[in-house]
Structure 1
């Protein structure tokens, strides 16, 4: 009987060791060792996209947080777009002409950190989401990264 996971979570941070842990979990997912994109019999699950969820922050991106890799369907992205339109999230989009997914993701996160440092956004550090698409799965042959960053909403009475 085949089984598949809906998500996998690790506690990590942005240190060198934390980055290594993140690479290892992604390697296990893309190889099928962790049955998230593939079931336990190594059959690819159609209609599933992997998305990273960053949550349970100790304080901010400089401390520990939970990284959850989730298997989502297209309705997830529709819900995120709705959250952007209500102002709960800000969307960042980047691409890399050479198809380097790591460079693409780094560029997107650097935009977030730059806007944060300049005071253009105030992050809520609730749940942030990242979807990276390797160049072999895109029409234009470029790597793409989509970030949905939770922002603090000022509610005035």
Structure 2
């Protein structure tokens, strides 16, 4: 009998050790060791995208938080866009022409932190979402990172 996970959560932070743990989590997901994008029989789950949810912040981005990688369908993106239109979230969209998903993700988060430090946004630190799209899955040949940051 094949099975699949809907989500997997770790408690982490933005330290070097925390970043290493996040990398290990993603490696287990991409390899199929954790059956989130693939079922336990290593069959790819069509129509499913991985999205990271950041929640249960102990303070702000300098403290511990829960990182949950969820397997979502297209309706997730429709719902989060509605939340953006209502002013509950601010959307950040970064891309990298060289296909470096890590580079565009770093730029997106750095923009959030700069705007936060400047007082341009007031984060609520409830639930934030990140969707990264590798170049292999884009029509424009660029890697993309979409952040949805909960604001007050």
TM range (shorter): over 0.9
Distance 1:63 1:97 in 2: 32
TM norm structure 2: 1.00
**Equivalent residue, structure 1, for 2:93:** 93
Correspondence 1:44 to 2:9: no
Distance 1:142 1:106 in 2: 15
SS in 1 for 2:108: helix
Corresponding residue pairs, total: 152
Task: Kindly report which structure 2 residues correspond to 1:105-116, keeping only aligned pairs within 5 A, or say none.
Answer: 105-116=105-116
**Equivalent residue, structure 1, for 2:65:** 65
Q: Pairwise CA RMSD of aligned residues?
A: 0.3
Gaps of 5+ in 1: 153-157
SS in 2 for 1:26: helix
**Equivalent residue, structure 1, for 2:7:** 7
Distance 2:142 2:86 in 1: 29
SS in 2 for 1:90: strand
Distance 1:144 1:97 in 2: 9
Q: Deviations over 1:76-113 (max 9, x none)?
A: 00000000000000000000010000001000001100
Distance 1:146 1:6 in 2: 20
Distance 1:104 1:3 in 2: 33
1:140 Cα shift? 1.1
TM norm structure 1: 0.96
**Equivalent residue, structure 2, for 1:121:** 121
Gaps of 5+ in 2: none
TM superposition outliers: structure 1 runs of 4+ over 3 Å = none
